Amino acid sequence: QQKRGFKPRPSADGKSSSTDGRRQSNAEHTVKVTNKKPAQVFLTKVKQFEGSSSFVRRSQWSISQLRQVNGIDSVRDCPEFDLIFENGSDQWTAGSAGEKCGFVQVLHHTCQRFIPERKPEFINCHPKLLGGNSILHEAADSVSSAVQKASQALNERGERLGRVEEKTGEMMNSAQHFADTAHKLAMKHKC
């Protein structure tokens, strides 16, 4: 399961939608993919109330109900984003612009993988998050490159060890030949 959490943006009247009037709460969105075949994907809003270690599910949408992800600003890094569903929307603020980017990227990748048709629209999101040059692809390329370099270094080391082994064998033969010759000379001069 992949999960990311964010706080709701304050509403127009300045009140945070993360309070219920009685106690403070911490709300998060998560992206969940089931292990069942075919896989089911859900966006779930959960809340954790002050003083509690458990989370309570507040809302849940199938990924197919997602119609639009609005990154608010594709040029300037900002933590706000909107999720528009078939029958409603949610306005959110991530802990940082980086967290928002990670969530949007995971959400986009999940949509591309698990929604066969009528994929949601991603607007006002930096193209790097949605395209082939994404952070995830760059990380995968970096890991692949590191593995390739390590493999090449290992092969070169194996070749060097092979050459050392050949030279060691030649030296052993040469030493044995020298020992045999020295023994023969010693036997010849002993008589």
Please indicate, yes or no, whether residues 78 and 138 belong to a single structural domain of this protein: no
pLDDT of residue 134: 52
Last residue of a domain, one of 131, 151, 182: 131
Please indicate, yes or no, whether residues 62 and 142 belong to a single structural domain of this protein: no
Please indicate, yes or no, whether residues 90 and 170 belong to a single structural domain of this protein: no
pLDDT of residue 189: 85
Please indicate, yes or no, whether residues 88 and 119 belong to a single structural domain of this protein: yes
Please indicate, yes or no, whether residues 60 and 152 belong to a single structural domain of this protein: no
Q: What is the pLDDT along the chain (191 residues), one digit of tens a residue?
A: 444 445 555 444 333 333 333 444 566 777 877 778 888 888 888 888 888 888 888 888 888 899 999 999 888 888 889 999 998 888 888 888 888 888 888 888 888 888 888 889 999 988 877 875 455 556 666 777 788 888 889 999 999 999 999 999 999 999 999 999 999 999 988 76
Categorise residue 21: left if φ over 0, alpha if ψ from -120 to 50, beta otherwise.
Answer: left
Please indicate, yes or no, whether residues 20 and 42 belong to a single structural domain of this protein: yes
Last residue of a domain, one of 79, 107, 131: 131
Last residue of a domain, one of 131, 149, 176: 131
Hey, what amino acid is at 160?
R
pLDDT of residue 165: 95
Supply the pTM of this predicted model.
0.55
pLDDT of residue 136: 58
First-to-last CA distance in the chain?
87
Please indicate, yes or no, whether residues 141 and 100 belong to a single structural domain of this protein: no
Please indicate, yes or no, whether residues 115 and 139 belong to a single structural domain of this protein: no
Q: How many residues does the chain have?
A: 191
- Is the backbone peptide bond immediately before 10 cis, with ω within 30 degrees of 0? no
Please indicate, yes or no, whether residues 32 and 126 belong to a single structural domain of this protein: yes
Please indicate, yes or no, whether residues 143 and 101 belong to a single structural domain of this protein: no
**Number of structural domains the chain divides into:** 2
Cα–Cα dist 74/131, whole Å? 14
Please indicate, yes or no, whether residues 47 and 34 belong to a single structural domain of this protein: yes
CATH of the domain at 29: 2.30.29.30
Please indicate, yes or no, whether residues 149 and 61 belong to a single structural domain of this protein: no
**Continuous segment of H or E residues that includes residue 161:** helix 135-190
The one-character DSSP state at 50 is: T
pLDDT of residue 15: 33
The one-character DSSP state at 64 is: G
Domain that holds residue 77: 2-131
